[in-house]
Amino acid sequence: MSQLRIEADAANARADEAEFKIKGLEQKVLELEQAISSLEHKNGLLETQLDASEQKVTELKASSSDNEHTKSTSEGLLRKVQLLEDELDAAEKNLKETVEKLRQVDVKAEHFERQVQRAEQERDAWEKKSRCVSSYSTTLSCR
Residues 41-92 have pLDDT tens digits of 999 999 999 999 999 888 877 776 667 776 788 899 999 999 999 999 999 9
CA distances to 37, 62, 113, 127 from 82, in Å: 24, 20, 46, 66
| Side chain identity, residue 59 | E
140: pLDDT strictly greater than 60: no
Instruction: Tell me 1's DSSP state.
Output: -
Burial of 12 (0-12, 13-18, 19+ CB in 10 A): middle
pTM for this entry: 0.40
d(CA 143, CA 133): 11
Domains of the chain with CATH codes: 2-139 (1.10.287)
